[in-house]
Amino acid sequence: MPAIFRPALKTSLTLLACAALLAPLHAGAGAAAPAARADGTAATKEAVARPRLLVVMVIDGLPSEQVQRYRDQFGQGGLRRLLEQGASFTNAHQAHGITVTAIGHTAVLTGAYPYRHGIIGNNWLDADGRQVYCTEDTRYTYIGEPATDPHDGTSPALLRVDTLGDQLRYATGNRSKVVTVSGKDRGAILLAGKTGTAYMFMDKTGDFASSTYYMQQHPAWVERFRAGKPQDRYYGKAWTPLLPDSAYADDAPFPAPSLKGPNRFPFMFYSESGAPAADYYNRLKTSPAVDELTLEFARAAVEGEQLGSNPSGATDVLGISLSGHDYVNHAYGPESRMSHDHLQQVDRKIAAFFDFLDRRIGMDNVLVVLTADHGFSNTPEFSRQRRIDAARIDPKAVTAGLGKALAERFGAPGLVKTSYLPEIYLDYAAIDKRGLARADVEDAAARILLAQPGIAEVFTRTQMERGVAANSRMATLMQRAWNRELSGDLLVVPAAYSFFSGGAEGTTHGTPYNYDTSVPLLIMGKRWIRPGALGQYAEVVDIAPTLAHILRVRAPAAAEGRVLTEALR
């Protein structure tokens, strides 16, 4: 496994020791065993044709436990089909400590951790304290849209590594097509890699668009889709529960305090202006509508790009990131009726999409992977009802309290530069000017933070540079999430079921606890995958090496996962 740090870094650890620090949770990476037939005999790689289409699906913000908890209510053709006809890993994780959308999506097809791939969050701060968005690039603009803001996601420039799709296109002389679509720009761009093509939902217009990084104008099939304005058909309609009331009997009635009623169904789709406008299109995101639109666009891409019907015989890749579940869980919590119903609705929409692929390509020719970018914490109100300590921790109060305490301790103000929790940036120039030892200030800051309510662990830059991953699982996950050039000087981990938030509603994710790291990992493909539930430990970074093995291409350069041989025929 590659070393955490570059050789030029001055540290007492050898490169071999650095690499070993990342190994305890994920031993077993390496060359894959030969594929096996159902009768147990060895099969050559040439005996099984490559998939005509690889579909990589990410359901944003889907905890693994929700798949298990609601599986008996799923229909026949969607998630149930994946669970019954595919390999289902019940102990799969996003194995890094800052579990947010951008990092989770990056892991899927790079097989890499943030310390290598450079996407350390949805947002982070540069050396001057300016906020950076993970897929921003002011050199490019959205195609056919009225405006592109400086922090809009338009390219993968900040992604430092390649993806499986990039390797596949390299291996096939660019004959393989890689097309991705998502309700979020980062969901599409970070799956597409450097050489794929990404399309994303536009908040202001409800259209799907690409950027000038990928092309100067949309192909005809995209323009036809946009001209149809499918996003407007929901206007004046409502999101209502799919199942009978009795199916939701165990759900928690903890809506946002500003809402009326225990569950607030039906949810109306409308605009204050009386016609479809930006506020209406934003309402679509916290509902099944955005996912239905995303899958409709995916169908149009299959037809428009002839995905799965490549004349060269090369495998094409379709990446689909369904964003609605994340928005719903943020607003109402994964324990809510809204989250429960949303997953059931998404299940039926996935089933319809699989039916389309069956008619268009034949599912025997399709390999499907479904996972999530992160899990979710329950709302603090729900956790406290279960007698679990939980709180929303004000990030501004944490940073202000630390700055004041450090000033009193060292007689010097301004030692804290800024923060974007869970990361805090110290002012090393001010520390050096005062003649203070950086490690002393870091250690003092850690002790001060640990004395505050709701803080469980603090890791310092000095600890990270020396390597702390052997100490615990949590430390390993945080080590993987920390990039020496980009990350802050302190990584602050809240107590379990607590999180950093300046608001008073909803919930979030982002910690190294199991409820945030545990995600579904389902792989289905009749010719390549052995069906069954598997309890072996697996990581999302295992997906890219496993797919590379099946497709017989080189794994992405920074991939550290293993081939999931237990799932292969």
Backbone angles phi, psi at 361, to 5 degrees: -120, -30
Predicted local confidence at residue 20, as pLDDT: 42
- Which pLDDT belongs to residue 254? 58
Query: In 3D, which of 151, 201, 150, 205 has the Cα closest to residue 180?
Result: 201
Q: What share of the chain is helix, strand, coil (3-state, %, to 5)?
A: 35, 15, 45
The pLDDT value recorded for residue 128 is 84
CA distance 219 to 216: 10
3-state secondary structure of 158: coil
Place of tokens 């290598």: 116
Q: Could you tell me which residues come within 8 angstroms of residue 267 by beta carbon, excluding any fewer than 6 positions away?
A: 238, 239, 283, 286, 287
Model confidence pLDDT, tens digit, residues 12-42: 333 333 444 444 455 444 333 334 444 443 4
**Statement: residue 4 has pLDDT above 60:** no
C-beta pairs of 265-268 under 8 Å, 24+ apart in sequence: 265/239, 265/240, 265/241, 265/337, 265/338, 265/341, 266/238, 266/239, 266/240, 267/238, 267/239, 268/236, 268/237, 268/238
Q: Where are the domains of the chain?
A: 45-124+132-375+517-567, 389-500
- Extract the tokens encoding 211: 């950027």
Q: Where are the alpha helices (DSSP H) in 434-492?
A: 438-450, 461-466, 473-481
Q: What are phi and psi of 273, to 5 degrees?
A: -80, -15
Reported as type and span, the H/E element at residue 339 is: helix 337-360
Band the pLDDT of 269: cuts 50, 70, 90.
very high
Residue 419 has pLDDT above 90, yes or no: yes
Neighbours of 215 (CB within 10 A): 12
- Distances, alpha carbon 89 to alpha carbons 33, 524, 529, 530, in Å: 19, 12, 12, 12
CB atoms within 10 A of CB 364: 12
Which CATH class name applies to 389-500?
A: alpha beta
Q: Which residues contact 542 (CB under 8 A, 6 or more apart)?
A: 111, 521, 561, 562, 563, 564
Please state the rounded mean pLDDT for residues 273-295.
97
Using the predicted structure, report yes or no on whether residue 6 has a pLDDT greater than 80: no
Tokens in use for 235? Answer: 């206007």
Q: What is the mean pLDDT of residues 303-308?
A: 98
What's the distance, Cα to Cα, between the start and end of the chain in Å? 26
Q: Collect all residues with Cβ–Cβ distance below 8 Å to 332 and sequence separation of at least 6.
A: 254, 255, 256, 338, 339, 379, 506
Position with higher pLDDT, 249 vs 1: 249
Angle between helices 337-360 and 324-332 (to 10 degrees): 170
Are the C-beta atoms of 520 and 66 separated by less than 8 Å?
A: no
- Helices 438-450 and 395-410: crossing angle in degrees, nearest 10, is 130
Burial bucket for residue 258 (CB in 10 Å: 0-12, 13-18, 19+):
exposed
Instruction: Note the pLDDT tens digit of each residue in 176-192.
Output: 999 999 999 999 999 99
Q: What is the pLDDT of residues 73-107, one digit of tens each?
A: 999 999 999 999 999 999 999 999 999 999 999 99
Give residue 501's pLDDT band: very low, low, confident or very high (50, 70, 90).
Answer: very high
Task: Tell which residue, 183, 288, 204, has the closest CA to residue 241.
Answer: 288
Structure tokens, 16: 């071999």
Angle in degrees, CA 522, 335, 354, rounded to 5: 30
One-letter amino acid for residue 70 of the chain: Y
Using CA atoms, how far residue 131 sits from 134, 136, 147, 402, 525, in Å, is 10, 11, 20, 21, 42
pLDDT at position 468 is: 75
The reply to whether omega before 422 is within 30° of 0 (cis) is yes
- Residue 555 reports pLDDT greater than 90: yes
- The domain 45-124+132-375+517-567 is classified under which CATH number: 3.40.720.10, 3.50.4.10, 2.30.30.30, 3.20.20.70? 3.40.720.10
Q: Where are the alpha helices (DSSP H) in 193-277?
A: 220-227
Say how many C-beta atoms besides its own lie within 10 A of residue 273's C-beta: 10
Percentage of residues in the chain having pLDDT higher than 70: 89
DSSP SS3 for 336: strand
CB 212 within 8 A of CB 154: yes
Residue type, 182: S
